[in-house]
Amino acid sequence: MITRTMQPVQTISFSADCDNSAPRGSWQSQLSGAIRDPEALLAAAGLDKRWLSGAEGGHQAFEVRVPQAYLSRIKKGDPNDPLLRQVLPLEHETHAVAGYVTDPLEEADHTPAAGLIHKYAARVLMITSGACAINCRYCFRRHFPYEDHAASRAQWGRTLDYLREDDSLIEAILSGGDPLVSSDARLAWLVGELDAIPHLKRLRLHTRLPVVIPDRVDDAMLEWLSNTRLQKVMVLHINHANEIDDSVMKACERLRGVGVTLLNQSVLLRDVNDDVEVLRALSERLFEAGILPYYLHVLDPVAGAAHFDVPDSEAGALHDRLREQLPGFLLPRLVREVPGERAKTPIQA
Ligand code: SF4
C-alpha cells in the first residue's frame, strides 16, 4: 500500500520476498502462488474468453497479480463484482486519455535515487518494498520504475543515519509497494533500528497485505510488532465491504491485540464504490473490524485508469450524502493529492 506524499531525499527498498520453498499455505507460498496470468484470472473468476483480449492488453502495461485469498471473496461469473473490477485488466487501460499520465503525482521529478521521503513536519516515509501482493488496476504507481530504485544495505545505513540526525522526527512510515511483502527477519531488523532512535515515537505502516492475504498476520509478524516500544499505526487499503471477510476480521483482531491502531484509506472508484450505500456499508464494516475510516481519495489521473474516475463534483455530492448517514467518526475525509502541495486537498461538493 503506497503512501501519497512525495519529496524524496533518497530511495531505499528491500526486494520482494517471494519464497517458492515456503510451507504450503503460508503467506509466502500464497504470495508466490498469486495468479499472474489474465487467462487464469478469467478462469478463476468464472468469466468466458470474450474478456481475454482486453485483459491481455491491460496486462502488458501492468501485470495481473491476484492472490487466491482475495479471489475467494469474488462472486464467480459476475464481471461487475466490485472486487474483481479492482484487479481485472480491461481494454480501456490501453486507451490514451488526455490528462492521464504515467506519473500523475510527478514523483519522478523528486526521486533522484532511492526512497526516503521527507515532506511533512516530524515524519518521514521509507519505501520499504517495491512489490505488492496484489496489483490494483487504478494504482497511481502502476508505471513506477521500482526496479530502478532497489538499494543496498549501505543505502539503508545512510537512510537510518538521516533519521538519527534529525531529532525533529517523531514518526517513521513504512510504505512501498507494500512493506509487508518483506520478510519478518528484515522488518524486525529495521524496526529494531528505528526503535533505537530515541526521538522517534511512532511507527506507521501503509499496507494492503492483511486484507489480500490475511495469513500475513502471523506469529512472526506479531512478535516484531510486540517488541517495539514505538506506538504502532497501520493504515490499510480497503475499498469495499466485501473485502472484509472473517479471515480479515481475525487478522485485524490479532493486530489490535498487540496494540496496533487500525485506520483505512480508500479510493473512490467508478463501478466499485461510487454509491452512498456502498460507502456507508464500507464504513460500518470497517468499524466492525476495529478499523477507523481515514481518507477517501479521488482517483489520481494515472494512464490506464481513466475508466475508474468519478468527477470531483459527483464525489463531493456523494460525500455530503454520506455525512448525513454516518456519525462523524465513521466519515472518511474526501481528498485529492495535488503534486507539489504539502498537504492533501479537501474536495467540496
Ligand atoms: S496495494 Fe494496490 S494500490 Fe497499493 S501500491 Fe500495491 S498496487 Fe498500488
Ligand 1 atom with the smallest distance to the CA of 135 is 7
- Tell me what percent of the residues of the chain surpass a pLDDT of 90: 72
C-alpha triplet 49, 51, 56: angle, nearest 5°: 100
Q: How far is the CA of 197 from the centre of ligand 1 (A)?
A: 29
The total number of structural domains that make up the chain: 2
- Per the listing, cell 500475513 goes with 216
User: Which of 3-7, 249-253, 314-318 comes out lowest in average pLDDT?
Assistant: 3-7
For residue 328, give the CATH number of its domain. 3.20.20.70
Reference 30, options 128, 134, 131; nearest CA is 134
For residue 5, the model assigns a pLDDT of 38
Boundary (domain end) residue, out of 65, 94, 123: 94
Say whether 252 counts as a known binding-site residue.
no
Residues 207 and 75 in one domain: no
**Does residue 2 line the site of ligand 1, with CB under 6 A?**
yes
Q: Specify if 280 maps to a domain.
A: yes
Q: Specify if 129 maps to a domain.
A: yes
Query: How high is the mean pLDDT of the chain?
Result: 89
Distance CA 69, CA 10 (A): 35
- Per the listing, cell 528505528 goes with 194
182-204 pLDDT tens trace: 999 999 999 999 999 999 999 99
If one residue of 70, 134, 146 were mutated to test the ligand 1 pocket, choosing by the most ligand atoms within 8 A of its CB, it would be 134
Residues 76 and 109 in one domain: no
Domain of 90, in residue numbers: 27-94
Q: Specify if 3 maps to a domain.
A: no
210: enclosing H helix or E strand:
helix 209-212
Closest protein CA for atom 8 of ligand 1: 139
Residues 125 and 248 in one domain: yes
Q: How far is the CA of 135 from the centre of ligand 1 (A)?
A: 6
DSSP string, 92-120: GGGS--TT-BS-TT--GGG-SSS-EE--S
Say whether 136 counts as a known binding-site residue.
yes
DSSP string, 246-290: HHHHHHHHHHHHTTEEEEEEEE--TTTT-SHHHHHHHHHHHHHTT
Q: How far is the CA of 20 from the centre of ligand 1 (A)?
A: 22
Q: Specify if 1 maps to a domain.
A: no
Residues 134 and 245 in one domain: yes
Residues 129 and 197 in one domain: yes
Distance CA 341, CA 315 (A): 20
Q: Specify if 80 maps to a domain.
A: yes
For residue 338, the model assigns a pLDDT of 84
Q: How far is the CA of 132 from the centre of ligand 1 (A)?
A: 6
If one residue of 88, 139, 181, 205 were mutated to test the ligand 1 pocket, choosing by the most ligand atoms within 8 A of its CB, it would be 139
Cβ neighbours for 196, distance < 8 A, ≥ 6 positions apart: none
Residues 67 and 208 in one domain: no
Residues 122 and 34 in one domain: no
Look at the chain and count its residues. Answer: 349
- Tell me what percent of the residues of the chain surpass a pLDDT of 70: 87
Query: Are the CB atoms for 2 and 139 separated by under 8 Å?
Result: yes
Task: Convert 311-342 to b/e letters by CB count within 10 Å (16 or more is b).
Answer: eeeebbebbebbeeebeeebbbebbbbeeeee
Residue 151 has pLDDT above 90, yes or no: no
Average pLDDT over residues 303-325: 96
254-293 pLDDT tens trace: 999 999 999 999 999 999 999 999 999 999 999 999 999 9
**Does residue 141 line the site of ligand 1, with CB under 6 A?**
yes
Residues 262 and 124 in one domain: yes
Say whether 18 counts as a known binding-site residue.
no
For residue 142, the model assigns a pLDDT of 79
Reduce the DSSP state of residue 296 to 3 states and report it: strand
51-78 pLDDT tens trace: 999 899 999 989 999 999 999 999 999 9
- Per the listing, cell 455530492 goes with 317
Residues 257 and 307 in one domain: yes
Residues 268 and 154 in one domain: yes
For residue 133, the model assigns a pLDDT of 96
Closest protein CA for atom 2 of ligand 1: 136
Q: How far is the CA of 167 from the centre of ligand 1 (A)?
A: 31
Residue 89 has pLDDT above 80, yes or no: yes
For residue 108, the model assigns a pLDDT of 55
State if pTM tops 0.75. yes
Reference 225, options 244, 207, 243, 204; nearest CA is 204
Q: Which residue has the higher pLDDT, 284 or 338?
A: 284
**Does residue 139 line the site of ligand 1, with CB under 6 A?**
yes
Residues 89 and 223 in one domain: no
Average pLDDT over residues 226-246: 98
Q: Specify if 2 maps to a domain.
A: no
Q: Specify if 33 maps to a domain.
A: yes
Boundary (domain end) residue, out of 94, 118, 137: 94
For residue 104, the model assigns a pLDDT of 77
Query: Are the CB atoms for 69 and 25 separated by under 8 Å?
Result: no
Q: Which amino acid is at 112?
A: P
Decide: residue 229, CB within 10 A, 0-12 exposed, 13-18 middle, 19+ buried. exposed
Residues 114 and 67 in one domain: no
Q: Specify if 22 maps to a domain.
A: no
**Does residue 211 line the site of ligand 1, with CB under 6 A?**
no
43-52 pLDDT tens trace: 999 999 999 9
Boundary (domain end) residue, out of 94, 110, 142: 94
User: Which of 4-8, 30-34, 95-99, 128-132 comes out lowest in average pLDDT?
Assistant: 4-8
Distance CA 182, CA 178 (A): 8
Q: How far is the CA of 49 from the centre of ligand 1 (A)?
A: 26
Listed ranges 16-25, 35-44, 111-120, 133-142; the one with the highest mean pLDDT: 35-44
128-150 pLDDT tens trace: 888 999 999 999 877 766 665 55
Q: How far is the CA of 140 from the centre of ligand 1 (A)?
A: 8
Closest protein CA for atom 1 of ligand 1: 1
For residue 10, the model assigns a pLDDT of 37
For residue 348, the model assigns a pLDDT of 74
